[in-house]
Amino acid sequence: MSEILTFHFDVDGDDFTSAGQASVQIKKNLRQLGISPDTIRRVSIAMYEGEINMVIHADGGDADVSVTEEYIEIVLSDHGPGIKDINQAMQEGFSTASDSIRSMGFGAGMGLPNMKRYTDYMNIDSVVGEGTTITMRVNL
């Protein structure tokens, strides 16, 4: 596999029910490429958490996944409210999600820590009032 493969998804912010569809599709795509199950699981969980976050906090956004020879890169970008204090947001248990989100099983303050836990590299670029771009990589 010498070429870089890229996949793009529009993450719909209107429908919590359909959140996660991009991650499901990526999981299928990576399986077809013969990537190891452990790597696929790490990529899809990290992306799924990010997708859920985009739906909960930012009214959706864009998800781009690139597969290179060295790593799989996931870039999630939105035009939501941005993250005021990234260090605080990275703490397990910290959450700004509403009660209605919690009642749907999310908003436990584990999303960003989980994304870091399952990836080898993660960078958060966020400007309050403009949006957030999260870049994650899982090494192959």
Residues at the interface with other proteins (CB under 8 A)? 16-20, 23-24, 27, 37, 41, 44-45, 48-49, 52, 102, 104-111, 113-114, 117
47: left (phi over 0), alpha (psi -120 to 50) or beta: alpha
**Rounded distance between C-alpha atoms, residue 120 and residue 42, angstroms:** 10
- Residue closer to other proteins (CB basis): 79 or 108: 108
Helices 37-58 and 21-32 meet at what angle, rounded to 10? 160
Closer CB to other proteins, 92 or 130, in the complex: 92
Write down the least CB distance from residue 33 to other proteins, Å: 17
Residue 87 Cβ, how far from other proteins at the closest point, in Å?
19
Q: How many CB atoms sit inside 10 A of residue 87's CB?
A: 8
Query: What's the min distance (Å) between Cβ of 21 and other proteins?
Result: 8
The CB-of-48 to other proteins minimum distance in angstroms stands at: 5
Alpha-carbon 100 to chain mean position: 21
Closer to other proteins by Cβ: residue 22 or 58: 22
- Please, which residue, 93 or 129, has the CB nearer to other proteins? 93
Strand partners, 74: 65, 136
Q: How many other CB atoms are there within 10 angstroms of residue 135's CB atom?
A: 16
